[in-house]
Amino acid sequence: MEYYLLIKALHIISVMAWMAGMLYLPRLFVYHADAKPGSELSETLKIMERRLIRAIINPAMLAAFVFGVWMLVLVPDHLEQSWMQWKILALVGMTGIHGMLSRWRRFFERDANYLSARFYRIVNEVPTVLLIAIVLLVVLKPV
Neighbours of 137 (CB within 10 A): 21
Q: Where are the domains of the chain?
A: 4-140
pLDDT at 143: 77
Quote the CA–CA distance of 24 and 57 in Å, as a whole number.
Answer: 10
Q: What is the pTM of this model?
A: 0.93
Q: For 48-91, how does the pLDDT look when each residue is reduced to its tens digit (9 = 90+)?
A: 999 999 999 999 999 999 999 999 999 999 999 999 999 999 99
Per DSSP, helices labelled H in the chain are: 4-34, 40-52, 58-74, 82-109, 117-123, 125-140
Beta-carbon contacts of 55 under 8 Å, excluding residues fewer than 6 positions away, are none
Q: For 1-50, how does the pLDDT look when each residue is reduced to its tens digit (9 = 90+)?
A: 789 999 999 999 999 999 999 999 999 999 999 999 999 999 999 999 99
Cα–Cα–Cα angle for 36, 39, 44, nearest 5°?
110
Quote the CA–CA distance of 85 and 83 in Å, as a whole number.
Answer: 5
pLDDT at 80: 96
Q: For 95-142, how does the pLDDT look when each residue is reduced to its tens digit (9 = 90+)?
A: 999 999 999 999 999 999 999 999 999 999 999 999 999 999 999 999
pLDDT at 10: 98
pLDDT at 89: 98
pLDDT at 122: 97
Residue 100 near residue 113, CB atoms below 8 Å? no
